[in-house]
Structure 1
Amino acid sequence: MPKRNQIIPFLFLLAFTLNCQSISTAQTPPVNPISPISNTYYVAPDGDDTHPGTLAEPWQTIQHAADTVTAGDAVNVRAGVYHERVTVNVSGTAGATIVFQSFPGETAILDGAGLTVPDADNGLFFIENQSYLVLSGFELRNYTTDDPNRVPIGIFVTGAAHHIELRNNHLHHIENNGGSEGNAHGIAIYGTEAPDSIHDVLIDGNELHDLKLGNSEALVLNGNVEQFTITNNHVHDNDNIGIDLIGFEGTAPDPDYDQARDGIVADNTVHHIDTLTNPAYFGEQSAAGIYVDGGTRIVIERNRVYASNFGVELASEHAGRATSFITVRNNFFYHNHGAGLAMGGYDTARGSTHHCDILNNTFFENDTNQYGTGELYLQFDTHDNRIVNNLFYANEQSLFTSNDYVENTANLVDYNLYFAPAGIAESEWGWKTEYYTGFDAYRTATGNDPHSLFADPEFVNLSQPDLHLQATSPARDRGQNLPEAGTSDIDHDPRLQNGTVDLGADEYAPTTGNQSVFLPFVKRE
């Protein structure tokens, strides 16, 4: 592991924890303060790039604007279809951000139909080593290739760019149809330099769907990327990983900097992430809604992940490397095909997962394909992790945990609530290759869960499902008060309502007006 992951100074961890807790209360945390607009320019399909770029005489191409404007300017793009790839060749400055946006109340569409995906770095929007930029309100679509060696990307940010905001964009039908070796992305942030990083990135309010990704991901941060915020995005109906935070793939030239780190992933809805029809997976279903592969010091909170191959996965695909110091808190994971949470390397040739906190999450009827992973799947080499204050509601398998490796050390499991149709005596837990039937047998053999309970959590509605607690729920006031669990629950309500934290992602509040909107579960064949 890089040296900085072996010893993390206490003051840095404290500062990062406090920063994460303060950010977690804001639904759309700004990266850049709103800056005054110096000049506003306009682009329209019937414009002309020789025009002055006014509302009455707009430019014709977004590329012309991306070559021309200066710090503090705004570009309003009128409704219409623009068949162009745009390379942003300008930067703003602190206090003078450049904004590219659809004209208010309209949608400008970048359509890749008819464009050839080049064999070099590219995107419908491409940003390399630029800074203080906002892209907002665009639709990006139909950027495809049949060549497995070319990579279509909706928005690609690379180099050592910084202070970049991607807000409220709609990306769909970005596709690589080149077979099992192809790759594509909806949004990709690749930190390819060192020590200079990509930093201060906000990805908020975007929708990404119907992407054919091959071996890649819908929304990915890879390499030397830090201080990022990924919030309020809707990622769905894609054939590979929804949100991915990656390290140690050689993206950055120095391995000491080659990992996504120090960020927030919050308030996203991710569903129907499925590799079943992806030719790169040969019929396997193994993509997570949210995946940390070698990242560190990241908070994942208040997300809803359902109907995906796995809910969230914390792993490292590279031997001798690790995913570390990840906090997963106050999330709903339900009706996923495999486990709600998987941790550790997927085989003994992979890396480890350590010093991660799994706190106050609600897991409901995952492993719908009944692989035998249960709600929580512990894989190779997990150590020094905490699994505390969670609520696990199993499906008819009545299987809570699976663990087919003995490389499982110093993992703390306690203050959880379990419930399954088979009841307390017939439900099953796996631990270090052994499987135990009955809650008492499991606790006696493993020493886990001395303060946990087996009881019906009394959700509001099982069929919808609405995973909030009823007033009489035994999960109320049964948790361990931990500052690492954050200050707000799944609905942004205060995490402490009655002096002691509730179990699961919902803190019962009888008068809350801020409960989650639930999307219905639809089983996709």
Structure 2
Amino acid sequence: MAREYHVSVNGTDANPGTAAKPLRTISQAARMAQPGDLVIVHTGTYREKVAPARGGLSDEKRIVYQAAEGEQVHIKGSEVIKGWKRVKGTVWQVTLPNGFFGDSNPYRDELHGDWFSPQGRVHHTGEVFLNGRSLFEVPTLEAVLDPKPLPRALDPQRSLFVWYCEADAKQTRIYANFQEHDPNKELVEITVRDSCFYPARPGVDYITVCGFELSQAATQWAPPTAEQIGLIGTHWSKGWVIENNIVHDSKCVGISLGKDRATGQNVWSNNPRKDGATHYNEVIFRALRAGWSKKKIGSHVVRNNVIYNCEQAGVVGSLGAVFSRIENNHIYDIWTKRQFAGAEIAGIKIHAAIDVVIRQNHIHNTGRGIWLDWMAQGTRVTRNLLYDNTTDDLFVEVNHGPFLVDNNMFLSPNSLRCWSQGGAWGHNLFNGRIEAFEEIDRCTPYHVPHSTWVAAVRSIHGGENRFYNNIFTRGYPELRTRRTGHGRRVRWLGYGLEAFNQTTYVVLASGNVYLKGAEPYMKEKGCRIHADFDPQVRIEQQEDRVVFLWRVNREVLDVATQLISTQLLGKTLFSNQGFENPDGSPLVIDRDFFGTPRDRNRPTPGPFEKIKAGRIPIAAWKGGR
């Protein structure tokens, strides 16, 4: 019979875990819980790493961890530090025995891994917080005594709050410049655990984590060729539900749906004689031999979460996110300190988004919004709002498709970076530039439909994409179109579909509208061009919602369109798969950004079926508790 365990800061782990006699730690409840059990955690801050000993057996018999209804529960990977001694002026120092940190010391552990760019200096996994806000690590004590603003940080003045560490075999010294603040009178915390909720081994399946605030973990850099540890993570398992949480202040990753260590651990860094793509292909086949399949891995749900202040990614998943849904999350302030860089930074970064649905997410103020890298097949990106992302809103990298991108609003200066074939874009609004590139030097897999099984590998020659019923506008006229590179390695960057004019394979396009100088594909027929019409697209962020503003009318959007369906989109060239739902059934784009039914005879181009100019309130992505 299923049991209910209660956890309270006033309990003790010697108790049986009843409502009257609760446990003290979530970790003790995790040791006791069996499939079908419910763990209810009551108000308070829990400074621990929860490593579930076991998972559930199925969707119907899972282990559920949830905050008690209406109560505020915070799991932290940090500890409060007192006893700071003034060194000079606004600089303070504390010395801690290394035993304080347990098995791993974040102030000795350095960030490292494949595709990590340290910017010429050492970074540690640890972090120092003053009143809930992280300080900036600097490489020398001199830089603590005389801090300088970091120009590339999004808040350079905040970068004057700095820290530095020294550690030997016995103790760790941390120096911090708290400016005008006295650390012994205010809340100072340092991260001491590498995660807040993460199993110690793979295969801990069918767990639900609901209603918590989780923060301040010393997470390691998480490339696709290594174990990906997040502030909360599934550790190469199946069937998790992570919902209604607030996840923030991870050194690297917020939520991880990634792979394990056994299939490869920073293999490129350990053997740089082979290129990274070859190493990753080897990781993929190693994973297949180890049982990577729909039966064992993926099928997670990540929904209704608020994720922010992570310096690598809000959600990451290499191989382990297959067959999952990522929906209705608010992801923002990713990679804002910008002390390090690397090829894995995004609001959502997924490798092998096989039959993954990314829906109704609100993503802004990140480096890159959504990044689908390798093996996006059967993927759907729909009804997402992206803006104020400094690199681009959507990057589809070396995929063969099919993947479908519909009813999205891409409003940043760079809307789309397309290094893939086999994609379909319908009813989107592109306000920024679009880049097309043929990646002929990397061979990447495509799969048997709705499966992880690899059918073959192939390079990307560009084109072979479909664009129906979209709106393109030159929203940032100060940013020029351009051509970079030479020979076959040329990147074309423009507004509208002009970037695809030089790709090897033909692009299919019709029913699109081009405004304010955006250019159509050279072979496109059946489009509408209003070169002098400025829709004046912009976003206003209010306290409780986002408001979209534009200036359009029915005449501007008057173009012959058709309902987008599996039949219209056809099959991809190499994977030879149709655009269909994850269960293999035919699909049709018969609803708009808001879920309003589309006109089945002549749907309106762009994300909104009902044409309305002026202010359009967009329901807030509240998420969390």
Task: Establish whether TM, by shorter chain, passes 0.5.
Answer: yes
In the other structure, the counterpart of 1:289 is 347
Work out the CA distance in 1 between the residues paired with 2:392 and 2:604: 23
Once residues 45 and 437 of structure 1 are traced to their aligned partners in structure 2, the CA distance between those partners, rounded to angstroms, is 57
Letter matched to residue 216 of structure 2: H
Q: TM-score, normalised by structure 1?
A: 0.65
Please tell me whether residue 116 in structure 1 is matched to residue 156 in structure 2.
Answer: no
Measured at CA, do residues 469 and 204 of structure 1 come closer, stay the same or move farther in structure 2, by a change above 3 Å? farther
Whole-angstrom CA distance in 2 between matches of 1:304 and 1:485 = 23
Report the equivalent of 1:362: 409
The code of the aligned residue for 1:100 comes to Y
Aligned to 2:425: 387
Query: Which residue of 1 is the match for residue 418 of structure 2?
Result: 378
Measured after TM superposition, the shift of residue 111 of structure 1 is 3.8
Q: Within 2, Cα distance between the matches of 1:49 and 1:168?
A: 22
TM-score by length of 2: 0.55
- Spell out, residue by residue over 1:412-454, the C-alpha distance to the aligned partner (whole angstroms, 9 max, x if none): 334322112588xx97486973758787977877765454221
Q: Which residue of 2 aligns with 1:135?
A: none
Partner of 1:334: 387
Amino acid at match of 1:337: T
Q: State the superposition RMSD in angstroms.
A: 4.4
Secondary structure of the corresponding residue to residue 323 of structure 1: coil
- Output the CA distance in 2 between the equivalents of 1:362 and 1:107: 34
**Distance verdict in 2 for CA 1:220–1:418, change over 3 Å:** same
Distance 2:408 2:557 in 1: 12
| Contact 1:469-1:508 at 8 Å conserved across structures | no
CA contact (8 A) 2:49 2:193 kept: no
Partner of 2:618: 516
The 2-side partners of 1:393 and 1:176 are apart by 35
1:208 corresponding residue in structure 2: 247
Cα distance in 1 for residues equivalent to 2:232 and 2:558: 40
1:481 aligned residue (552, 563, 566): 563
Per the TM alignment, residue 287 of structure 1 is displaced from its structure 2 partner at its CA by 1.6
- Structure 1 position 336, deviation (Å): 0.9
**Tell me, what secondary structure is at the counterpart of 2:28?**
helix
**Any conservation in 1 of the 2:434–2:496 contact (CA below 8 Å)?**
no
Is 1:285–1:309's contact at 8 Å kept on the other side of the alignment? no
The 5 A counterparts of 1:423-502 are 428=481, 433=490, 435=492, 448=507, 449-455=509-515, 458=535, 462-464=539-541, 466-467=547-548, 472=553, 474-475=556-557, 479-483=561-565, 484=587, 486=589, 488-491=591-594, 493-496=595-598, 499-502=601-604
- Preserved contact between residue 436 and residue 493 of structure 2 (Cα < 8 Å): no
Give the AA of the match of 1:482: I
The CA deviation at 1:109 is: 3.7
Q: Which secondary structure state, in structure 2, belongs to the residue aligned with residue 64 of structure 1?
A: helix
CA offset digits 1:270-313 (Å, max 9, x no partner) = 1121165343x2xx797211122233121212222111111111
- 1:333-352: per-residue Cα shift (whole Å, max 9, x none)? 2121012111225xxxxxx4
User: In the alignment, which residue of structure 2 is the partner of 1:44?
Assistant: 8
Code of the aligned partner of 2:352 = G
**Contact 1:343 1:353 (8 Å CA) reproduced:** no
**Counterpart check, 1:188 vs 2:233:** yes
Q: Tell me, what secondary structure is at the counterpart of 2:313? A: coil
Listed as ranges, the matches of 1:254-273 within 5 Å are 259-273=320-334
Spell out the pairing of 1:243-254 with structure 2 (5 A cutoff): 243-247=315-319
Query: Residue 196 of structure 2 is aligned with which of 144, 149, 154?
Result: 154
Give 1:227's aligned residue. 299
Tell me which residue corresponds to 1:274: 335
Over the matched positions of the two proteins, sequence identity in percent amounts to 18
Structure 2 residue aligned with 1:100: 65
Match of 2:437 among 375, 396, 403: 403
- Seen in structure 2, the aligned counterparts of structure 1 residues 415 and 489 have a Cα distance that, compared at 3 Å, is closer
Judged with a 3 Å threshold, the aligned counterparts in structure 2 of structure 1 residues 177 and 495 are, in CA distance, closer, same or farther, namely same
The 1:421/1:482 distance shift into structure 2, 3 A limit, reads closer
Aligned residue type for 2:426? V
Q: Mark the runs of 5 or more structure 1 residues left unpaired by the alignment.
A: 1-36, 121-140, 192-197, 248-258, 317-321, 346-351, 368-373, 521-525
Provide the secondary structure at the position in 1 that maps to 2:30.
helix
| CA deviation string 1:480-514 (max 9, x = no partner) | 422446554433x234257543333344387xxx9
Counting matched residue pairs gives 409
CA offsets, 1:70-98, max 9 Å, x none?
A: 55544433323444444433555565554
Larger radius of gyration: 2
**Contact between 2:590 and 2:600, CA under 8 Å: does it hold in 1?**
no
Name the CA shift for 1:441/1:376 in 2 (closer, same or farther; >3 Å): closer
Compare relative contact order (CA 8 Å, sep 6+) and give the higher one, 1 or 2: 2
Distance 1:486 1:508 in 2: 15
In the other structure, the counterpart of 1:240 is 312
Q: Secondary structure at the match of 2:103?
A: coil
Q: Structure 1 residues 53, 289: CA separation in 2 closer, same or farther (over 3 Å shift)?
A: closer
Q: How far apart, CA to CA, are the structure 1 residues paired with 2:495 and 2:321?
A: 40
1:97-134 deviation line (CA, Å, top 9, x unaligned): 544333333234444445635359xxxxxxxxxxxxxx
Q: Find the aligned partners of 2:343 and 2:35 in 1 and give their Cα distance.
A: 46
Q: Are positions 1:175 and 2:218 aligned together?
A: yes
